[in-house]
Structure 1
Amino acid sequence: MKEAFICMVFSYLVLGLVLLIGLNLNFFSPFKNAFKDFSYLDLHYAEKLKEENFDLNENIVLVNIDRLNRKEIAEVLNDLQRLSPKVIGLDVIFRDRQDPVWDVFLKEKLTNEAFVFAYSFQDDEEISNAEGFQLDNENRGYTNFNFSASSAVVRNFQGINSIGDQTYISFPAKVVERYLGKKWLAEKQQFLKTERPIAYTGTRENFLILESKDILNQVEIPFIKDKIVLVGYLGNEYTHEYDIEDKHFTPMNRKFVGKSPPDTFGLVIHANIVQMLLSNNYMYVVPNWFLVVITIVLTFLGLAYFIYLNKRQLASYILRLNLVQLLFSVTFVWCSLLMFRKGILFKISSVIAVVVFSLGLIGYYKKLAHYFYKKYTWEGYFYHD
């Protein structure tokens, strides 16, 4: 047991040194960049998409503005308001003034309190509507999904972000607040300040999408009344699969390994987040302290067992070691995927890497122990008088 503990300390020191070198050498950058956006948990969505049995979302309706000009957008919004949705989330930013006549025409259609407007942060700069295109700053939210630049895949979401003394609310959180009331946001404020994984429930095909022609001049559309309507860009209704404007990489990408184009429009991601907030369908994230504890325990037990086998000099030692490393990795990945299906995010990658790496260092540790025994008569489990 003592030898296993010392070997564990040795393996962690070597691992720390390897990581330090890897982080500071450009040689490893291609490998780091190749795997930084990969997650084996994407297998869950890949299998779920193949099932093709997602239910149509009945809480949220998406309205596609495609490439309409401001006059046409104003007409769509005007007719949409007559259909009495409870919330209209407008994922469009009218940053610059254009035609004075149509700008005024559009402004007149944006006075309804049901509207939630969008803005975004880009390189610490706030990109928002030009003056007059929204009622005030209370009915808007930022469209950034999170504030981490380390990954190109949209996996996480931060509902509330504090910068200095200012508190900013995200677009989906603002939409849900307008739908459920301010009491909801007050109760969820601390919860939403932490970046959390998005529980995706559907692709573009799982939301009811209306085009402008479906809205204009319609006297009544019953399923819109008192619902959440999100308005934004979803590409051409016939060729949207080949359109990458305002598309992002998500875990729902059908090609989760290798090169592929972005797969999901930003409006659809917002719809998934809104649905998650409405249904309280949050992913539970296994805390880091538990990951550290289980890594230490598994490393120690694995080292103790294989140090014992190594001392007995079994002919099958190397074979057993390789088989256990393989079975350990496969079993834990399977368990992690099973837990993910149940709504528990168990980031097992680091645990597997550390345990497997440590077991692979037993032979080097034995040589180091032999050196200390010969040089300083240091005794241990492997070498002693």
Structure 2
Amino acid sequence: MSHQEDNHHEDHHKPPKKKGIRHHARKVHGRVTKYLTERDTLFATIWVFIFIFALSQIPLNLGIMNPIKLGLKDFDFNDITYSKLGKKADTILDKRITLVNIGYEDREALSLMIDKVATYGPKVMALDALFDEEREPHKDSMLNATFIKHKNLVVARQLLLIGKEGDTVISDAGYFKTGTQAHVNLFTDSVSSVRYIEPFFIDHAGKAYNAFSTEIIKLYNPEAYQKLLKKKGKKLIINYSRKVDNYWVLEFDNIMNDGYDSSLIKDRIILFGYINTNKADLTDKFFTPMNERFAGKSIPDMNGVVIHANIISMALDKSYIKKVPLWGTLLLAFVVCWLHMSFFVHYYLESHIWFHLAAKIAQVLSGIFFIWLGIYLYDRYRLKVDMKLTIVTILMAVDVIYFYEAWAVWMHKKFNYKTVFKPHHH
């Protein structure tokens, strides 16, 4: 009897068992899912997208009235992989491509340089320079003869486009009309990053115009060109892998004086173009994801010929980037917003004193996670998932709850609309 009493006494003073991870997981699960199937949660989620759509329709020239559109213009979280995380920082030289800096050489010098390089046996040569008008006749004649002579030479040209849709080619701009020519249009404005390439520009009549890099690939590697043909009519994300330092760069004087080993030219793709590393020299420079500043870019970072080199490297390596379609982006954003809305509504109704703290913590953690996830998928699997919309919906969900609550309460009073929100519930 005494022994039983002692046991009973000991049990009475045992500390309570600690609540395990499973218990806390169930609580978190409950906070997320309790209101998940409520009509209010679904409708509030739809409201978020209505608000985003409405804000996106505000003209850009209103400036401060449209911070979301301004903030998202030409911004991509994946740029962080290049500018801050050192993506491709250890990339080796691409030995298939050699760049030649043409500087400000005149047409006679260009003719002599191309002819000289041709003696080393390159597989393909390409000149990224535009010639808009007649200059000195004898120099023009020399360069024109060079264009005709070398069948493995691709010369840049510019497509002039007109029409409401900008898909009517009226002429090929340029003074020279001989030799193999291909357009260097990048189809982007001067303040946006060059992210996409159209390997084949299709006009309104269905005629295809090979891009500069496409024509080079066609001459250098027919197999890679056939793979590119399957992407006709599509815009491709440029998988930037190299800066100018990751290609051999030859200079005019050294070429003319036989100052280089022929192995740097023989059987390679030789790209002639203007190259400079001086940040103050903006000649033929563009913004790219390789820019050191991934947000608020102010100085263009890459010469056009280096962009073409990156496109060629991508095609030869078959390292194309796959992009999740728009419907996939919308579906992901909707599901994530729906889950967060359920979590926010739970705290809004049942623990309002903690609502703002819980919401801010959730927004920060979710924002970090989805930025990381997008970068990881892009870097590891070459899969581009646009997370901007997903993150914007998470940020807007909290504020939309207040608007939705006001509407739902009004509907309840006016039409007996069933809602989890009640007047002055908190």
TM-score using structure 1 length: 0.89
* 1:198 matches 2:243: no
Displacement after TM superposition at 1:8 (Å): 2.1
Partner of 2:300: 262
1:249-271 deviations in Å (ceiling 9; x for gaps) = 11111123335321111000110
The residue correspondences of 1:1-385 to structure 2 (distance < 5 A) are 1=37, 2-20=39-57, 22-23=58-59, 26-28=62-64, 31=67, 32-33=69-70, 35-49=72-86, 52-110=89-147, 111-122=149-160, 124=162, 126-131=171-176, 134-135=178-179, 139-145=180-186, 147-149=187-189, 152-165=192-205, 166-181=207-222, 184-218=224-258, 221-235=262-276, 240-258=278-296, 260-342=298-380, 343-383=382-422
For 2:335 and 2:234, locate their aligned partners in 1 and report how far apart those are by CA, in whole Å: 28
1:79·1:217 contact (CA, 8 Å) conserved in 2?
no
Q: Could you tell me which amino acid in structure 1 is paired with residue 252 of structure 2?
A: S
- Residues 313, 374 of structure 1: alpha-carbon distance in 2 compared, 3 angstrom cutoff: farther
Q: Percent identity of the aligned residues?
A: 24
1:321-364 deviations in Å (ceiling 9; x for gaps) = 11111111111011111112121211100111123312332233
For 1:95 and 1:64, locate their aligned partners in 2 and report how far apart those are by CA, in whole Å: 20
- Residues 154, 24 of structure 1: alpha-carbon distance in 2 compared, 3 angstrom cutoff: closer
Displacement after TM superposition at 1:192 (Å): 3.9
2:44·2:401 contact (CA, 8 Å) conserved in 1?
yes
- Residues 34, 346 of structure 1: alpha-carbon distance in 2 compared, 3 angstrom cutoff: closer
2:199·2:228 contact (CA, 8 Å) conserved in 1?
no
For 2:114 and 2:159, locate their aligned partners in 1 and report how far apart those are by CA, in whole Å: 25
Q: Over alpha carbons, which structure has the higher Rg?
A: 2
SS at match of 2:208: strand
For 1:269 and 1:281, locate their aligned partners in 2 and report how far apart those are by CA, in whole Å: 15
Q: Could you tell me which amino acid in structure 2 is paired with residue 78 of structure 1?
A: D
TM-score using structure 2 length: 0.81
1:197-238 deviations in Å (ceiling 9; x for gaps) = 111111111110000122114396123111100011114xxx
2:102·2:273 contact (CA, 8 Å) conserved in 1?
yes
- Residues 178, 101 of structure 1: alpha-carbon distance in 2 compared, 3 angstrom cutoff: same
C-alpha RMSD over aligned residues? 2.5
- Residues 49, 295 of structure 1: alpha-carbon distance in 2 compared, 3 angstrom cutoff: closer
- Residues 24, 217 of structure 1: alpha-carbon distance in 2 compared, 3 angstrom cutoff: closer
- Residues 314, 34 of structure 1: alpha-carbon distance in 2 compared, 3 angstrom cutoff: closer
Which one is further off, 239-248 or 338-347? 239-248
- Residues 148, 266 of structure 1: alpha-carbon distance in 2 compared, 3 angstrom cutoff: closer
SS at match of 2:135: coil
Aligned length: 374
Displacement after TM superposition at 1:28 (Å): 3.9
